[in-house]
């Protein structure tokens, strides 16, 4: 499944900075931010996120 997010330029710029600082893909940073925002702490979802990020790398 794919999803297109349209983000304000200022937010996107901050996410890119964070991505570069962490040396992580932008997609990973965005997904982590979404998880934190909606307070998803389900361990199974976190494993899926990790595996998804591995495929992106």
pTM above 0.85, yes or no: no
- Cα dihedral sign for 55, 39, 42, 4? negative
Q: pLDDT tens across 21-57, in order? A: 999 999 889 988 888 888 777 788 778 877 877 776 6
Query: How much is the pLDDT for 49?
Result: 74
Query: How much is the pLDDT for 51?
Result: 81
Does residue 9 carry a pLDDT above 90?
yes
Q: Are 29 and 18 in contact (CB under 8 A)?
A: yes
Q: Are 49 and 31 in contact (CB under 8 A)?
A: yes
Does residue 1 carry a pLDDT above 70?
no
């Amino acid at each position: 499944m794919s999803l297109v997010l349209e983000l304000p330029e200022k937010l996107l710029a901050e996410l890119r900075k964070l991505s570069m600082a962490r040396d992580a893909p932008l997609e990973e940073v965005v997904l982590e931010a979404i998880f934190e925002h909606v307070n998803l702490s389900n361990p199974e979802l976190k494993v899926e996120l990790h595996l998804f990020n591995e495929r992106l790398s």
